[in-house]
A and B are shown apart, each in its own frame.
Chain A
């Protein structure tokens, strides 16, 4: 299915008025064909389409004014068969509307793939739903939006605490080598290419998870499903309150520079509410870093249906015995909250050790 959206026909164009359709449902269209005439407030412009397809549905009627980016028509891609209306149970539809969740992002588990109430709840919990809530609530309802997000987070976290038997571990990680390596790496690089300390533990966690797949994935329908990739959800606080934890896809496979770039992009887009649905649904584990806020350690609540959350505290100088001598060393508290239905403390401890060791060899990250 292809959405034909109102293009920006000039830098200052924010909306347009449809004057005329040149096609009707059932028409085949070719790339470059004029399909509509739109008034941009400066002129009536012939609007072309840039994909081949067949018109399935006209969504905007002549005379309507819509913002740039609004889907105006829906087309079937060449070879695509018309699909039935997506199956969503009435209860799920109602609940999704209440939570402000886009139904398209939900995979259905009901009869014939229908989205069920439980699917909606699970999606709400998995993504903690803030971005979806932000995205779906119209501007100008800020108070309601924040309240909705708080309700969604509340629902997800309540479910987590109700259903997931958490266990918690903490480990002090010396960060001297990481700091030294980072300083060397950043020295002489222009600002946009420099790394922040935050990306090192993310990469370390991602790499460590390769050895501990039971901490990476989902607990669904009474069973653990190992994550198909290592997609690290990065908790990002939003200015208006609330948080979102979009996925940094395949973090273990990406160089630190790419992680840095993607992290910046995610933070920016999370705060402007333009995350992609896949980023909200895919995270297989969460890393939350409250070090910037100055706390020493954080024991987080797992985002269902994930099974683990790694908490990172502030890096601070501490007396540290190294090679028999007590020194002042930068140390960071790394914690693990994990789902006891899937793993236990022994493996969790080994995992934290692995993270610690990885951070002692920053050059290998």
Chain B
């Protein structure tokens, strides 16, 4: 059955709302409007305004309310329109949700799922386009997910809701319209939220990507295959905790790695991954680890500028060639 990434997310929400009365969805325009990216379209009609709850433009307030509701025994799913807006709620996520278990000596826990759109590619400029996944992945106490496939969009919510700790689920805006085949049986999407996945096998280089970067990495890998370079592509899937063994295992095989991250290089998730490769696979590396990240500018509006600022397949191919001494 053909299904879009957006529909996959919606069906996962529908399942969650239908199967657990503790689950409710809350956020700006999730109800009557149908979600700013139309993910929750139709759910209000199915589940009513209590469980598909429109909120005022109060990110700090309603994300904090999600934390409180989780403490109070509910399983809230909070939608934040974009990761940029989540900065208004970062206090509640970082000082609150992430810290409560430890700060309370293990007495409290926050079974909260926060969904948010992330990334660029829609010409939404510098306040709607950034990739702050790495900031959240920095924080102990959180679990950070980045579904990059239809199956993960469909499958990750269930284990996220089952997780007793706060989970942040990043939906890349370029993926919402992505379509693909997905079987009807839950086995087609059932997944864990702790491991990375190899999306393409290869022996010449490992390309590590996540979220919106995965498709670009795969595109680059196809191009490289035409040159006789077989790249292995690893989809991180889970940005915290990182599945370091899978990354090391691949790099030990290929001896080279390029990390694709739509965040900025400085202090980024890609920096963390490179550091882990140094710590765990230094003597297996045959070249310095490469990185393809967003240029260090606030995301510009104009299309040519936006495209130039983002990791593109061509940049990934070039980075791989450099590692192989083929420039």
Contacts and interface: CB of A to CB of B under 8 A. Distances in A.
B255 A91 contact: yes
Residue picked from B255, B287, B288, B322, most chain A C-beta under 10 Å:
B287
A89 B284 CA distance: 9
A164 interface: no
B284 A90 contact: yes
A110 B325 contact: yes
B285 A91 contact: yes
A111 B322 contact: yes
A117 B284 CA distance: 9
25 contacts: A89-B285, A89-B286, A90-B282, A90-B283, A90-B284, A90-B285, A90-B286, A91-B283, A91-B285, A94-B283, A94-B284, A108-B325, A110-B287, A110-B324, A111-B288, A111-B322, A111-B324, A111-B327, A112-B325, A114-B287, A116-B286, A116-B287, A116-B325, A117-B255, A222-B228
Contacts of A93: 283
B323 interface: yes
Nearest to A222: B228
A32 B251 CA distance: 53
B323 A111 contact: yes
A95 to B, nearest CB: 9
A110 B323 CA distance: 7
Contacts of B327: 111
Task: List the 5 closest A-B pairs by CB distance, nearest first.
Answer: A89-B286, A110-B325, A91-B286, A94-B283, A117-B286
A92 interface: yes
Contacts of B282: 90
Interface in B297-327: 322-325, 327
A111 B283 contact: no
Contacts of B286: 89-92, 110, 116-118
A109 interface: yes
B325 A111 contact: yes
A298 B262 CA distance: 60
Nearest to A112: B325
Tier of interface size on chain B: 10 to 19
Interface of B: 228, 255, 282-288, 322-325, 327
Nearest to B252: A91
Contacts of B324: 110-111
Given A110-B324, A111-B327, A222-B228, 6 more contacts: A89-B287, A90-B283, A91-B285, A92-B286, A109-B325, A111-B322
Contacts of B228: 222
A118 B256 CA distance: 12
Interface in A48-87: none
A113 B286 CA distance: 12
A86 to B, nearest CB: 15
Interface residues of A, number: 17
Contacts of B284: 90-91, 94
A94 B288 CA distance: 15
A89 B286 CA distance: 5
A112 B325 CA distance: 7
A69 to B, nearest CB: 31
A110 B284 CA distance: 15
Contacts of A113: 325
Interface string A107-148: 011111110111000000000000000000000000000000
A111 B327 CA distance: 8
Contacts of A90: 282-286
A134 to B, nearest CB: 25
A130 B287 CA distance: 27
A221 to B, nearest CB: 9
Nearest to A115: B286
Q: Which of A92, A93, A109, A110 counts the most chain B CB atoms within 10 A?
A: A110
Contacts of B288: 111
B255 A114 contact: no
A329 B287 CA distance: 60
A117 B283 CA distance: 11
A113 B327 CA distance: 11
A129 B128 CA distance: 59
A157 B18 CA distance: 64
A116 B228 CA distance: 18
A94 B255 CA distance: 12
Nearest to A116: B286
Contacts of B322: 111
Nearest to A117: B286
A109 B327 CA distance: 11
A347 to B, nearest CB: 27
Contacts of B283: 90-91, 93-94
B216 to A, nearest CB: 22
Nearest to B290: A111
Contacts of B285: 89-91
B167 to A, nearest CB: 36
With most chain B CB atoms within 10 A of its CB, the pick from A90, A94, A108, A114 is A90
B220 to A, nearest CB: 18
Contacts of A112: 325
B205 to A, nearest CB: 12
Interface in A206-232: 222
A119 B270 CA distance: 29
Contacts of A92: 286
A111 B325 CA distance: 4
Contacts of A91: 255, 283-286
B233 to A, nearest CB: 21
Contacts of B325: 108-114, 116
A108 B287 CA distance: 12
B184 to A, nearest CB: 46
A108 B324 CA distance: 11
A116 B284 CA distance: 11
Contacts of B255: 89, 91, 117
A114 to B, nearest CB: 7
A321 B286 CA distance: 60
Contacts of A108: 325
A92 B286 CA distance: 6
A33 B240 CA distance: 64
